Amino acid sequence: MSNRTKSDHAYLLLPSALAPLTRLSPPVLAGLFVLVAGLIFVWRLGEGPIYRTMEGREALVMQEMLRTGNWVLPLRNGETIPSKPPLLHWLGAGVARMGFILASSSEGQDELHLLSGEMSEWAARLPGALFSALSVGLTCLLGCRLANREVGILAGLLVLTTPMCVEMAREAWVDPALAFFVLAALTSFACMYEADEWRGWRSLAFGLSLAGACLSKGPVGIILPGVVIGLYLAAQGQLSRVRQLLSPGTVVVGVGLPLSWYVLALDQEGWAFFQKQLLQENVLRFTSGSGKRIPSSAFFLPPFVLGGLPWSLLFGFGVWHFVRQAPIREKGVLALVWCVAIMAFFSVAAGKRDVYLLPLYPAMALFAAEWGWARVPNRAEPLRPWLGTGLVLAALGLSLAIVSAAVVTALGGLSIDSAAVDSVFGDAKWKSVAPLIRFVDEQPVYGTALLVALCGRGLGAVWAASRGCWQNALWLVLSLLLLVTAGLYPFTRAYAKEFKALTGFAAQISRTVGAEQPLFFYTPQPYSSEFDEFSQVYFYLNRSVPLARCAEQADFSRCPPGYYVLRERHWRPLQATPDSHLLLDSRGGSGPDARPHLVLVRRD
């Protein structure tokens, strides 16, 4: 440890390797973080198929944009209004289109090939990866402004290693875009508030951030930063500054840009669009949820802790110190108000999902860096001998077991299908050890070396903690998580997706059903998000699969001849229907942990 810089409340120690970074200006630091995070998130981004409902439905919209040329409001799967505004879809489809341009230039193909409607996993996920990288850099920049360079550097590293942020950086979801624009809006506000300058480029950046957030996930993109800013100004007794913040130019940019798209979409689809995107996705989801059981108000506490580990614990440690000192310094309050406001907003809402918390993790990182990490003692009393020795021995035993298993796997003595793995883990192996075993099996030298390094870091962290060297233990944990984020997760995440995907079933359907033959989706249930759950299959079929209207008659024998995709549980009571034949079962051609269970049936 060499670099020691005093913040307003405590000292923050940086390792010698990071000390030179403090000599860089905040914008250069932020740019460096964006570059490094971008390289990490983009590496192997296209590996692993689409298997999740929300990723599949966003990718389908991008696919429809390329296929139909409708960039205002393309209908997902040819008939369903998208659930979210189009900013992410524009970017993903734009990336795919640029890829076609490059392919066309190199192969001399006609430019009409651009309208073939093809999309790739890489193109669909790239916007989310870039937004996530920008969030890492902007968190660093905001930390430098609210505190100092040390806090900014640490906050950027914490966001880069927060589990929820790392996971979402590799998914084609709208939430990374929303999280970035909320962060950008609050950063712009902080700059205006500190400088007491409410016009110019800061105001323009604030308005553009609101517009981007709204075009990413709807009105909630404006509501979230609005709630945070309102509560912060109220806590400071300066609510009158809201009038300065909401200048005519800011309103025109922040509200006018997304409103123009809403007007175009409303003109295209009319009441159906208003009902889907404004009523169902915003008002009804907030007040009534998704139609299932409404979780309790405490729903988000476990996801916040688990999705932010271990830094969420450091955040709690910082809150404890914060409350004890009862500070009056304005800068230290913003990040805490930010976390509390977003958590409270979604806790009140009836609709709840873990990913909704993504916009508060930059604030968690900022607060944990300034109020948590800086107050962890560098040297303290060692743990009691029996406790310290026990923890070190447990960590050593676990490390030896992991390294031994890695060596055996690298030498070909252990595989996913080994009896020993099945007897210990059972079906849970697909969610736990299977990705790691495959990683070492396919990358024997690199994989074994990486696991040895991870075990060494983990063992070192436990040893340092047992000796009372808590700062050293934290830095070792951070370095371990950086290795996981950059070196391990790009592989294991892709493998986990392959285990769960229905791409094999989609390929079987493509071989069985000709492009001109009728193919429908059949369900006896009323319209629900169930239709979206098959988006991964539709994406790889690259064709529209309309809803079978005959399902409304509750008699499968009245359905016209053709092919039907349906859930296996819906097929069971229909098996005796005349002229109906089971052709394919998804269990026979997809990942071993794939959900849901689908079948393909032919009606003669």
Strand ordering across the sheet containing 562-567: 519-521, 562-567, 598-603, 580-585
Q: What residue numbers bound the domain in which 231 lies?
A: 3-8+24-49+124-292+299-375
Both 241 and 263 in one domain: the answer is yes
Distance CA 411, CA 253 (A): 61
Both 154 and 194 in one domain: the answer is yes
- Burial (CB count <10 Å: 0-12, 13-18, 19+), residue 243: exposed
**Predicted pLDDT at 2:** 34
Both 486 and 433 in one domain: the answer is yes
Whether 463 maps to a domain, the answer reads yes
Joined together, the tokens standing for residue 284 give 């009804």
Both 536 and 484 in one domain: the answer is no
Domain end (from 375, 408, 423): 375
What are 5's strand-pairing partners?
A: 12
CA 548 to each of CA 258, 293, 320, 551, 555: distance values in angstroms, whole numbers, following the listed order: 34, 28, 57, 6, 12
**Predicted pLDDT at 100:** 56
Joined together, the tokens standing for residue 203 give 């105001």
Both 399 and 347 in one domain: the answer is no
When computed from its CA atoms, the radius of gyration of the chain, rounded to whole angstroms, is 26
Whether 171 maps to a domain, the answer reads yes
Domain end (from 493, 517, 548): 493
Q: In order along the chain (604 residues), what is the average pLDDT of each group of 10 residues?
A: 40 81 94 97 94 90 91 87 92 86 46 52 95 98 92 96 96 96 96 88 94 95 95 89 88 93 92 85 75 71 93 93 68 86 90 91 96 88 91 95 95 90 87 93 96 96 94 95 97 94 92 92 71 80 86 82 92 90 90 89 93
Q: What angle do CA 420, 425, 430 make, to 5 degrees?
A: 110
Both 550 and 465 in one domain: the answer is no
Both 319 and 403 in one domain: the answer is no
Q: Residue 337: which H helix or E strand, with range? A: helix 331-348
**Into how many domains does the chain fold?**
3
**Predicted pLDDT at 299:** 86
Q: Answer yes or no: are the C-beta atoms of 160 and 137 closer than 8 Å.
A: no
Both 354 and 452 in one domain: the answer is no
**Predicted pLDDT at 272:** 86
Distance CA 511, CA 240 (A): 65
Distance CA 173, CA 175 (A): 6
**Predicted pLDDT at 102:** 52
Domain end (from 375, 397, 427): 375
Both 309 and 412 in one domain: the answer is no
Q: What angle do CA 273, 277, 282 make, to 5 degrees?
A: 150
